[in-house]
Structure 1
């Protein structure tokens, strides 16, 4: 099975260029963060990028409109990452319709508990967008099973009990937890939070079906620009290809 590359970018004024870069370098999914003033899951790098995007007057509406215009140019599956308040402010029904109109593949809402996510799914049974579940390392076995059995698209397994982009070790039970989750679902189980180099990627995809890389990509795009970030992305895809089962 091809190991999956999930890349995160912030929805800043030039996010379409970054999206096209990631697509050209073999990202299977691209997660686009909607800038929000009070993010709960984002570490300092992504939070800073979000603040810059807000200053540039980027909004959820602008991101979805740009995706609607350019989506047919992109092979990678696009995912919107946003918070419950943003959806409420946009209008839930209008938001779900806009996702489908923009041909968005997935939606991640990190501050929405499982029970509320299931209610959201039930309210929109005809939607095309997949509502992607996160599973934390603190989740008990019964909770992991419950989430995994109802999951759509892929499962986002959080590798550590911190915010994104932190310099920390993977949770000691991470691999065992991923294997347990895989027993309860037929969809891919991805690992994300804190993954930034090929050693980590090689290690985690010995078990996981793919990796999610966010802060490192956001940092490189901000500090180095599009073309200077390309070799890093190319290398990540190469590492994943070499570890394909």
Structure 2
């Protein structure tokens, strides 16, 4: 069975074209980062990309407007990675409605703990937007059980106790934690943070249902030719399909 390829792209001035490139290269779900001045989970590559996007004038409204305009041209599902401050400032109800109009599949809100995620889900039960759960390597088994019981879309397992971009330094109990989640979850369990190479992907995909790749893709879109970037994306897709 093919594993999920979930690449990340920063919501910068080129993000729609980058999203289309990722979709055409076989992405199952695309994670779109909303630029934010005070991120808590982002490593240096994504933080720099976010700061640059802010300087370009990008914001949540522009990103939602562009997605609304281009959604029929994007074959993959897409989720927004954002912080609650942005949602709160926009207005929670209005934000969910705008996401529905823009064809957004789900939200990843890394600064919200499980209890507050559940409150948001309860307030928007009629929405089609899925609120994605994250599980850290430090998450206790009892809490994992609670998260898995109500998870929507997929569960995002963080591979290490660090920010994004660390190179392949996965937590020694990562595979054990992913397998435990898979045994009790009703949605796919994917892994992200520090995954860069086809070898990393092959290793993690032995147990995970898919991978999230962020910093490496952001770096390649910024620094490499389009052909080289597309070749890299195909190498990841091919590895997941094996």
TM-score by length of 2: 0.99
Match of 2:26 in 1: 26
Are residues 1:102 and 2:102 paired?
yes
Contact kept, 8 Å, 1:18 with 1:226, in 2: the verdict is no
Provide the secondary structure at the position in 2 that maps to 1:183. Answer: helix
Contact kept, 8 Å, 1:135 with 1:156, in 2: the verdict is yes
Are residues 1:7 and 2:18 paired?
no
CA distance in 2: counterparts of 1:204 and 1:123, whole angstroms: 35
CA distance in 1: counterparts of 2:37 and 2:131, whole angstroms: 23
Aligned-pair CA distance for 1:225: 4.0
Contact kept, 8 Å, 2:168 with 2:195, in 1: the verdict is no
Aligned-pair CA distance for 1:50: 0.2
Provide the secondary structure at the position in 2 that maps to 1:138. Answer: coil
CA distance in 1: counterparts of 2:95 and 2:59, whole angstroms: 13
Match of 2:178 in 1: 178
Contact kept, 8 Å, 2:133 with 2:151, in 1: the verdict is yes
Aligned-pair CA distance for 1:93: 0.7
Provide the secondary structure at the position in 1 that maps to 2:80. Answer: strand
Match of 1:203 in 2: 203
CA distance in 1: counterparts of 2:227 and 2:130, whole angstroms: 31
Unaligned stretches of 5+ residues in structure 2? none
| 1:10-159 superposed matches below 5 A | 10-159=10-159
Contact kept, 8 Å, 2:136 with 2:161, in 1: the verdict is yes
Match of 1:190 in 2: 190
| 1:214-225 superposed matches below 5 A | 214-225=214-225
Q: Deviations over 1:14-37 (max 9, x none)?
A: 100000000000000000000000
**RMSD of aligned alpha carbons:** 0.8
Contact kept, 8 Å, 1:165 with 1:216, in 2: the verdict is yes
CA distance in 1: counterparts of 2:128 and 2:72, whole angstroms: 16
CA distance in 1: counterparts of 2:228 and 2:171, whole angstroms: 31
Q: Deviations over 1:205-234 (max 9, x none)?
A: 000000000000000000114333110001
CA distance in 2: counterparts of 1:234 and 1:219, whole angstroms: 16
Contact kept, 8 Å, 1:77 with 1:104, in 2: the verdict is yes
Contact kept, 8 Å, 2:168 with 2:196, in 1: the verdict is no
Provide the secondary structure at the position in 2 that maps to 1:202. Answer: helix
CA distance in 2: counterparts of 1:146 and 1:44, whole angstroms: 32
Aligned-pair CA distance for 1:168: 4.8
TM-score by length of 1: 0.97
Contact kept, 8 Å, 1:195 with 1:212, in 2: the verdict is yes
CA distance in 2: counterparts of 1:217 and 1:127, whole angstroms: 30
Provide the secondary structure at the position in 2 that maps to 1:190. Answer: strand
